[in-house]
Structure 1
Amino acid sequence: MGLRVRCGSMSNFSFSVDIIDGRKLIVKPIGSLDFHTVGVLKQAIYPLCVSEEVVDVVFDYEKVDYSDSSAFGLLLKLSRTIDGEVTVINAKPSLKRIFQMAGFDTIFFKGNRDHDFIA
């Protein structure tokens, strides 16, 4: 399927990254995405985006409990770095609402069903 990387240096945070066909990154964070944890995630993802010629990045928020503006910054920066799209799937209603309030729902939720992004 692809490369799987697991990290867990924070007590309440971990994530996995799958590279599909060398062009799509599936990022599955678990826990809170905040100032401290986003830095760890960023250090793992950016080198993969450059070295693997990643076109699309999908963040599976199924197990994300909290997300602050640092996560928005990471998503926006990634969307400007890669040639394809950055998409968020499986976000809880409370997190989707935060994206809507910030005006980012139209950028990161493309209106497709969540399972369409992982193929």
Structure 2
Amino acid sequence: MYYDGQTLYAVPSGGIDHHTARPIREQIDDAVTDRMVTRLVLDLSKVDFMDSAGLGLILGRLRHVSAGGGKLILLDPGADIMRILRLAGIDKRLAIVEGGSERTHLAALRTVSAKSPGDRGGQKKSS
């Protein structure tokens, strides 16, 4: 995890399941509370598996950050993870920035705060 002002970037890797979701959740929640984070960017580019615990992690962080007036943005989920997010309807509840270069990501992250949930920045990956 790292910070840029009041933005927290969390970069989990591997799988997010019932074994790994709790420590990730605790780290993120502590950081959000301690640093008064107004934007949480969950970089999913290194996540290759997610089950219902991963979905719960995302939805719980959405509630946690939103309660303080902040935003949650998902960054660059792979095709398999994006399929899970779509099936669960999460893609309609928050911003997801897909594909592109680091420059594209940064530009999309700057503008996504002004958009409503479900809007996308960046480029859409083909499946």
Which TM-score applies when normalising by structure 2?
Answer: 0.72
1:61 and 1:110, CA in 2 relative to 1: closer, same or farther beyond 3 A?
Answer: closer
Aligned-residue RMSD, C-alpha: 2.1
Q: Offset at 1:94? A: 1.4
Q: Offset at 1:95? A: 1.0
1:62 to 45, 50, 55: 45
**Alignment pair present for 1:52 and 2:35:** yes
User: Where does residue 95 of structure 1 map in the other structure?
Assistant: 81
Q: How many residues align?
A: 102
Which TM-score applies when normalising by structure 1?
Answer: 0.76
1:56 and 1:101, CA in 2 relative to 1: closer, same or farther beyond 3 A?
Answer: same
> d(CA) in 2 for partners of 1:61 and 1:112?
10
Q: Say if 2:45 and 2:78, in contact at 8 Å, map to a contact too.
A: yes
Q: Offset at 1:101? A: 0.7
**Secondary structure of 2:70's partner?**
coil
Offset from partner CA, 1:54-112 (integer Å, 9 cap, x none): 11111111111001111111211111122211111111111111111111111233467
> d(CA) in 2 for partners of 1:36 and 1:112?
27
Q: Offset at 1:118? A: 7.0
Q: Say if 2:75 and 2:96, in contact at 8 Å, map to a contact too.
A: no
User: Where does residue 20 of structure 1 map in the other structure?
Assistant: 4
Identical amino acids, percent of aligned pairs: 25
User: Where does residue 58 of structure 2 map in the other structure?
Assistant: 75
> d(CA) in 2 for partners of 1:39 and 1:70?
9
**Alignment pair present for 1:117 and 2:101:** no
Q: Offset at 1:26? A: 0.5
Bigger proportion of residues as strand: 1
* Structure 1 residues not aligned, in runs of 5+: 1-16
* Structure 2 residues not aligned, in runs of 5+: 112-127
User: Where does residue 29 of structure 1 map in the other structure?
Assistant: 12
Output the amino acid matched with 2:4.
I
Offset from partner CA, 1:3-49 (integer Å, 9 cap, x none): xxxxxxxxxxxxxx01111x111111110011111111112111111
